Amino acid sequence: MTEEARVGVYVCHCGSNIADKVDVEDVRDYAKDLPNVVLSRDYKYMCSDPGQDLLKKDIAEHNLDRIVVASCSPRMHEPTFRYALEDGGLNGYFLEMANIREHCSWVTEDEGEATEKSKALVSSAVNRVPYHEPLEEKEVDINPATLVVGGGISGIQAALKIADSGQEVYLVEKKPSIGGKMAKLDKTFPTLDCAACILTPKMVEVARKEEVHLLTNSQVTEVSGYIGNFDVTVTETPRYVDLDDCTSCGDCSEVCPITTEDEFEEGLVDRKAIYRSFPQAVPNSYLIDGDTCVKCGKCVEVCEAKAIDLEMGPQEHQIEVGNIIMATGYEVFDPSGAAQWGYGLYDNVVTGLEFERLTNASGPTGGKVKLEDGSEPEAVAVLHCIGSRDENYKKYCSRVCCMSSVKFSHLAKEKTDAEVYEFYIDMRTFGKQYEEFYNRVQKEGINFIRGKGSEIIKRDDKLIVRAENTLIGEFVEIPVDMVVLNTALIPQASQTEVGQTFGIQTSNDGFFLESHIKLDPFRTATEGIYLAGCCQSPKDIPDSVAQGSGAAAEVLSVITKGKVSVSPISAHVN
């Protein structure tokens, strides 16, 4: 602490964002009488060029050696004012910010409370800033390799974009194959092109690229270091099948006596304990499910390639990278805990992903929409917003549900002679060609009912969907043979744990927290770690691809510099 600090205090109006609730003149006058304060001002926009010029001028004229700015979040403008201090001849770290927008004016309607809390925050800042010591940023070399965590479409896009520049990429995926949820889809809206047709070439390119090191069946278990120099431990679960030797002939699966639920097929059918995830899997090799295999050895006996090793153990990979992209994707809401929708209680109530597998030519029914008894439905209901836009479950909109529901209705109509009913709250067709697709499906004879399907019951041999048709103000009961529940996109169950491993935060809804929701959606608060796809928030495929490319651009902009400035701020016990 300097013996006689000379502190300048600047209270920002932020237009009306702060000044509407905080009496900035009162806060300014209050600050004048605080210890070490030699100058206190208020200004409409401190972050503007004139605001910064005022600060620099005062440093020179009043010999200020510490600065307090009471304004909005330091997440946005702390670098702005640090640069202003440096231009004025001070060390940029002789700055303390009081957040009187997010912490005061935006969280109360009471002007008196907002003003008093602002005074308290400014007083704290004024008392703290004399203790600031001069810090200098240091430059470190950048390791040009990048880690991409998650092999869905976002992670694939990011990895390929970085590899296209000639840089090394480590792509880590916890499942046996890359592809993510998109690999399970049949058609994609609004153009109805085959999901596999547009995804598989990218998956194959990942396997072909020399710059991409693919680690499937693997998870990151430890991360240390900082931007430019991360040390990462990746633990690979044993496949018990050698990737290089396996010819994917399938003889092993034919003799395997153990069956278990097929997670890729959403549990609609079973698979063997030794299996291949799906026909287009990358890597296209069989593997053994260690949780169900009884190690009877029958697969070993028939494997002519000698690719199976039942004693294979987990492997640890130590890798060094300069940047990390998180593309860990999402899960879907499990409606089995909500009895009102009948999932798990009644036959022929399916989720959206299960319906995707029923309509997929490589799915368990060869693309035919069938009921449990093998017959074709005569009436199908599609319900929006199951688990989303709901105070009891997830309050946010899952964003893709409207368009995927419209797609489900189209596919149900295309593949059956059924009467199709679609229950919606609001129709949100926000993307390119989305409204046109919605209009097209309306003309196909789909019955759109504006009202959330509130309950499903069984009456005789029919499923009854109950809802309020808000357009006509009447409750309706629609008898159908099949109900498709379009469930919410939710964060991965391990999201918080994964965030702790990487040192990144989650927001109130459980998704990873970006640096700024509008202006910086790629970066996190941890320098060198970026976000792509649905781990940040629900997205459709085009936006997931765009964010994958954007995250890759952020990484490449760092790599091309060769060096990066590292924050000198660190915590230690005094």
Domain-embedded: residue 572: no
Strand partners, 484: 350, 382
Instruction: Check whether residue 352 and residue 463 sit in a common domain.
Output: yes
Instruction: Check whether residue 407 and residue 337 sit in a common domain.
Output: yes
CATH number at residue 531: 3.50.50.60
pLDDT tens column, 253-306: 999 999 999 999 999 999 999 999 999 999 999 999 999 999 999 999 999 999
Instruction: Check whether residue 557 and residue 540 sit in a common domain.
Output: yes
Instruction: Check whether residue 27 and residue 76 sit in a common domain.
Output: yes
Q: Are 470 and 450 in contact (CB under 8 A)?
A: yes
CATH number at residue 264: 3.30.70.20
Domain-embedded: residue 503: yes
pLDDT of residue 567: 80
Instruction: Check whether residue 444 and residue 547 sit in a common domain.
Output: no
Instruction: Check whether residue 452 and residue 500 sit in a common domain.
Output: no
C-alpha span between 127 and 5 (Å, rounded): 10
Domain-embedded: residue 42: yes
Instruction: Check whether residue 318 and residue 201 sit in a common domain.
Output: yes
Our count of domains for the chain comes to 4
Give Cα 326 distance to the centre of its chain. Answer: 8
Instruction: Check whether residue 186 and residue 321 sit in a common domain.
Output: yes
Instruction: Check whether residue 510 and residue 525 sit in a common domain.
Output: yes
Among candidate residues 131, 165, 182, the one where a domain is terminated: 131
Among candidate residues 312, 341, 358, the one where a domain is terminated: 312
pLDDT tens column, 161-174: 999 999 999 999 99
Instruction: Check whether residue 424 and residue 318 sit in a common domain.
Output: no
Domain-embedded: residue 138: no
pLDDT tens column, 116-173: 999 999 999 999 999 999 999 888 899 999 999 999 999 999 999 999 999 999 999 9
pLDDT tens column, 66-88: 999 999 999 889 999 999 999 99
Domain-embedded: residue 137: no
pLDDT tens column, 341-397: 999 999 999 999 999 999 999 999 999 999 999 999 999 999 999 999 999 999 999
Q: Are 310 and 300 in contact (CB under 8 A)?
A: yes
Tokens of 207: 């396997």
pLDDT of residue 487: 97
Instruction: Check whether residue 160 and residue 88 sit in a common domain.
Output: no
Domain-embedded: residue 574: no
CATH number at residue 94: 3.40.50
C-alpha span between 259 and 490 (Å, rounded): 29
Domain-embedded: residue 139: no
Range of the domain at 410: 332-490
Instruction: Check whether residue 342 and residue 485 sit in a common domain.
Output: yes
314: exposed, middle or buried (Cβ count in 10 Å: 0-12, 13-18, 19+)? exposed
